[in-house]
Amino acid sequence: MKIVVPLKQVPDLVEDLEVDATGKALDAEEVKLKLNEFDDQALEEALLLKESGAADEVVAMAFDGEDVDKMLFTAIAKGANKAIKLNGSSPTDIHQLAKAFANAVATEGFDLVMAGVQSADGRDGHLGPIMAEYLSVPCISVVAGVSVSGGQATVQKEYSGGMLGEFEVDLPAVLGIQAAAQAPRYAPVSKVRQIQQTETIQEMDAGDLGAGAGSAISSMAAPEKGLGAKMLDDVEALMAVLKDKGVA
């Protein structure tokens, strides 16, 4: 069984985000990119399935861009069998990115696509279910728990309040992964460097990206601060609040 994990970088939300001169996008100069945390969860879950013997092969895939080689080598260092980089004109939104990945996985072949459930910059939807639609295969999102046997996957989908729905889905299928069974593993820098020397990243043409989201951003801005929090200068002030609320 073969699992493809599409990977994507997103702005690191720990950093300050600035809007550029157009007022419609983040200032790319200031943005620090990192692997989308949910993609990391998807990769981890895929690797766990491989290690359990349920899957034979895990393929990491990404669209070309800054530091993408390093991200893909890191995926191999963590245990992916191979990495594929897509080339072509850059996707402008999630729909186009999903089309690029759908084209590539159709060529590569797959039993399961495990995508991160969402990304913080996903204005026009969610990668996994859009890919599934392009591929005409079933999809379940917000998945935390996957097992595979006999041409089908059994998955647990999160609802609110800690409830789960359990489903069976025929393969091939796409899953939007919320969380892996364990925290995503770490690949030591030395190992990534070694992989960089010994492994190669396969390249593939992304093909036709389609029409895209069909909507445009008219403006982007940090939220206006409402009344907001009353800022406290020291612990003394904090103690006063706690006493006032009858907590301390």
Partner 1 sequence: MANILVVTEHLKGEFQDITFEMLGKAKEIAQSTGGSCSAMVFGSMSGQTDQMGAADTVITAEVGDDYNPEAYAAAVKSVVSANSPDLIMIGSTSMGIDIANPVSTALDIPTVSFCADIVAAGGGFTCTSQMYGGKMNVVSSVDGALISMVLAGSFNADTGRVSGSPAVEASAVEAGAGKVRFKQLIEPEAADVDITQSDILVAVGRGIGSKDDIEVAEELAEALEADIACSRPIVDAGWMSKSHQVGKSGMKVKPKVYIALGISGAPEHIEGMKATSTIIAINTDKNAPIFDVAHYGMTEDLFDVVEELLEELD
Under rule CB under 8 A, which residues in 111-140 are in contact with partner 1?
A: 117-118, 120-126, 128-130, 132-134, 137-140
Identify the residue among 100, 169, 201, 206 touching partner 1 (CB under 8 A).
169
Which residues lie closer than 8 Å to 21 by C-beta, 6 or more apart?
none
Contact with partner 1 (CB under 8 A) among 9, 36, 41, 103: 41
In whole angstroms, how close is the CB of 45 to partner 1 at the nearest point?
11
Nearest distance, CB of residue 37 and partner 1, angstroms = 8
Residue type, 83: A
Nearest Cα neighbor of 50 from 141, 184, 145, 148 is 148
Residue 7 vs 153, nearer CB to partner 1: 153
Nearest residue to 3 (alpha-carbon basis) of 169, 173, 126, 120: 173
Q: Which of 20, 26, 185, 192 binds partner 1 (CB under 8 A)?
A: 26
Determine if 162 is a binding residue for partner 1 (CB under 8 A). Answer: yes
Write the interaction track for partner 1 spanning residues 225-244; mark x where CB under 8 A is met and - where it is not.
xx-xxxxx--x--xx-xx--
Binding string, 4-23, against partner 1, x = CB under 8 A?
Answer: -------x-xx-xx-x----
Minimum gap (Å) between residue 247 Cβ and partner 1: 5
Site size toward partner 1, by CB under 8 A: 83
Rounded Cα–Cα distance for residues 189 and 167 (Å): 38
Q: How far is the CB of 66 from partner 1 (least distance, A)?
A: 18
Q: Which amino acid is residue 213, in one-letter code?
A: A
What is the C-alpha to C-alpha distance for residues 137 and 170, in angstroms, rounded to an integer?
9
Nearer to partner 1, 16 or 29 (CB): 16
Q: Considering only residues 50-69, where is the footprint of partner 1 by CB under 8 A?
A: none
Of 21, 149, 166, 190, the one binding partner 1 by CB under 8 A = 166
CA dihedral 128→132→135→137, nearest 10 degrees, is 140
Read off the tokens for 246.
């009858």
CB of 124 to partner 1, least distance (A): 6
Binds partner 1 (CB under 8 A): choice among 33, 106, 164, 187: 164
Pairwise CA distance, residues 55 & 128, whole Å: 19
**According to CB under 8 A, which residues from 138 to 157 bind partner 1?**
138-142, 154, 156-157
CB distance 32 to 56 below 8 Å: no
* DSSP type of residue 19: B
Tallying the residues shown for the chain, one arrives at 248
| Nearest-angstrom CA–CA distance, 248 and 244 | 8
Phi-psi bin for 201: left (phi > 0), alpha (psi -120 to 50), beta? beta
Segment interacting with partner 1 (CB under 8 A) among 69-77, 185-193, 198-206, 219-227: 219-227
